[in-house]
């Protein structure tokens, strides 16, 4: 009977040790789960910020595209108003007028002003 009690005591001791290991493992897993949830929340918050930034960039892109379209329309209007026939100015000098080219001479600028003034009178 004493042997049986000793065996039971040892078995109870083993069960207690096993139970403690399981509890420690469970606590470790709970801590790991808490950390993973925190990382998940941080990732979701960062994703929301990135989505907001993406949406803002899309709005900015759309605004810039609208401005480009508007500028293209204005440029086409300007180009339509430019003389089309042969004149002392060739196509390159007309583009220089539009771009404000750096290779302009004083005579070219004066001629451009005269042409613009004449064009403004007829418009």
Going residue by residue through the chain, which has 123 residues, state the pLDDT in tens, using 9 for 90 and above: 889 899 999 999 999 999 999 999 999 999 999 999 999 999 999 999 999 999 999 999 999 999 999 999 999 999 999 888 765 555 555 555 555 544 445 555 566 566 544 445 444
From CA 88, how far away is CA 90, in angstroms rounded?
Answer: 7
- pTM exceeding the 0.85 threshold for the entire prediction: no
| Percent helix / strand / coil, the chain, rounded to 5 | 85, 0, 15
From CA 44, how far away is CA 75, in angstroms rounded?
Answer: 46
């Amino acid at each position: 009977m004493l042997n049986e009690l000793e065996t039971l005591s040892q078995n109870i001791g083993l069960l207690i040790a096993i139970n403690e290991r399981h509890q420690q493992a469970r606590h470790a897993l709970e801590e790991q789960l808490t950390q993973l949830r925190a990382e998940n929340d941080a990732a979701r918050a960062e994703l929301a910020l990135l989505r907001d930034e993406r949406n803002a960039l899309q709005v900015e892109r759309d605004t810039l595209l609208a401005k480009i379209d508007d500028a293209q329309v204005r440029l086409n209007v300007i180009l339509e108003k430019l003389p089309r026939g042969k004149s002392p100015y060739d196509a390159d000098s007309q583009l220089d007028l539009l771009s404000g080219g750096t290779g302009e001479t004083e005579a070219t600028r004066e001629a451009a002003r005269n042409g613009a003034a004449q064009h403004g009178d007829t418009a």
